[in-house]
Structure 1
Amino acid sequence: MSDVWVVSMNQKVQASTMPPPSTNLRYAFSLLELLVTIAVVAILSSILVVSLSHVRQMANIATCSSSMRQIHTATMLYAGEHTNKLPGPLWSAQQAWYRAPEYIRDGVLLNYIAPYLDLPGGTSTPQRADIFLCPAWADQEGETVAENPSARVYAVQYRVTLMNGESIRPFGYAGGSSTTPPATLHELDNPGQQVMLFDLDADVVSSYRGNSLAAQHPVHGGKRNYLFFDGHVECLKEHI
């Protein structure tokens, strides 16, 4: 009986001296779990980047379109005060800089329409008009190029069809001895189907191929904004 009591007491002593079960156990991730987690995070990050890039692209297209419509309004106001004659003669490629009205022979559209865009009065020194600076173009080309007055952003349409069937340069041509005058609005046939202004890049104006002051490819994700003579804007993949 005493032996049984001793064993029982020993069991109690051992039980009383054993540490309590741990309630703060630490579990480590296995290598497979870590790899799966990393893969999921990478996939979600790539989806987020693509989504943000698309949102930015659409915002740039919308901003560029809005600026083009304001350029159209200013051009129409100019024409309304000049017997319906379009500004010109102009060069085909246009920049986002302007000077005083006496420099209209520069062939720069902004020199003609700056007052109708509520821009500060021009001087002999070129001033930048951000409304003429496509945000997608600026993102792609960088601020250094955007600060260069020789950089080309947009182009005026080379040819339009008149109501008499003739094909001419709507804004004339500032070509020195071969200068031609601009057309008048009432001469244009079907303004809603004729382009007035579009995003310039070397894919459509090959003379700018390799030129660091012009985009080499379409800046709106493979597309270009086109402003039509009736004031609407379309973002298109194919050049028209």
Structure 2
Amino acid sequence: MKNMEPRIFFKSSRNVAADTGLSKVSLRAGVGAFSLMEMMITVAIIGTLAALCMPAWTKIKDNSMRARDVSNLRGQAMAVLAYAGEHDGVLPGRINRGVAIPSTVTTDSKRTYYLSTVLIDAGYCSKDDKIWKTVCGYGADQFGVAYVVNSGKSSVPTYFFGNRSSTAGATTYDPKRIVSLKSNLDPDKDPKGKDEEPLSQIWMITNADGENYNSSTTGGLSNSLSEDVRTPWGGRHYVYFDAHVEFKRSGEYPSVN
């Protein structure tokens, strides 16, 4: 009887590769590839996870910005208090209410006009913009102003840090001693003979925005902010004369300034 070779119903992968001319590398690559459905499912899962994580990431970013802003204000206040401590308790001045970002003050004669450059030139803080610039781009620093000081006609006594006026014949005021500060309320609504308040209740510096540093509050200065400029966190940070910082939501601000 004639010997018959056994039938081969299945070829090994090695034989298949050899018969079809496929290399071992291409075979292995084909085995590990994703199907279209698998890729779509993976993309959907990643998108869902990103959507779930976004609110948490936004909150973390917001908290980080606010923490840096608080640090800025506390650094500014400590520099003011250090200056006053070595000048018989008198605050730095006479200055404008808007605090200029140092690098934007390019004229030497103007350096005595702003809290930032006065303190820098007196050696009470670093020469860079770090603590005087907004921590995010919400529009306040586009004209070189990021913060304002509590120094105006609604202070008691008026103009804590003194004032400068470009109007001929206007009254100017010298900066006050810290021990003379009584209130930052409107003097027309609050008796001028009111007893001194704790320094922890009188604010020193806050964020500049379109409410407290617009054209009507600055007398039309060229660096006034647009009416719609607001901080991204819905309020302002205030640093007080004891160097503690509080957050106040819009509508809860501590004074008319």
Note whether the superposition's TM-score is higher than 0.5: yes
Gapped regions of structure 2 (runs ≥ 5): 14-30, 182-196
Q: Where in structure 2 are the equivalents of 1:76-225 lying within 5 Å?
A: 76-97=81-102, 103=109, 106-114=112-120, 115-119=122-126, 128-136=128-136, 139-141=137-139, 150-158=143-151, 166-176=156-166, 177-188=170-181, 189-207=197-215, 214=225, 216-225=228-237
What secondary structure sits across from 1:131 in the alignment? coil
Instruction: Tell me the distance in 1 between the aligned counterparts of 2:214 and 2:33.
Output: 66
The amino acid across from 1:153 in the alignment is: A
Change (3 A) 1:212 1:20: farther
Change (3 A) 1:158 1:213: closer
Gapped regions of structure 1 (runs ≥ 5): 3-8, 121-127
**Match in the other structure for 1:125:** none
Deviations 1:165-201 (A, max 9, x none): x452211221243322222100122211111100101
Deviations 1:1-53 (A, max 9, x none): x9xxxxxx99x95xx3212598x6988454xx665543332222233344333
**What is the TM-score with the length of structure 2 in the denominator?**
0.64
Instruction: Tell me the distance in 2 between the aligned counterparts of 1:170 and 1:25.
Output: 74
Deviations 1:141-182 (A, max 9, x none): 49xx66xxx5111001245988xxx45221122124332222
User: How many equivalent residue pairs?
Assistant: 210
Q: What is the Cα-based RMSD across aligned positions, in Å?
A: 3.8
More helix per residue: 1 or 2?
Answer: 1
**Match in the other structure for 1:228:** 240
Instruction: Tell me the distance in 1 between the aligned counterparts of 2:149 and 2:205.
Output: 4
Change (3 A) 1:140 1:112: same
Instruction: Tell me the distance in 2 between the aligned counterparts of 1:205 and 1:65.
Output: 20
Change (3 A) 1:63 1:28: closer
**What is the TM-score with the length of structure 1 in the denominator?**
0.68
What secondary structure sits across from 1:197 in the alignment? strand
Aligned residues of 2:215 and 2:224 also touching (Cα < 8 A): no
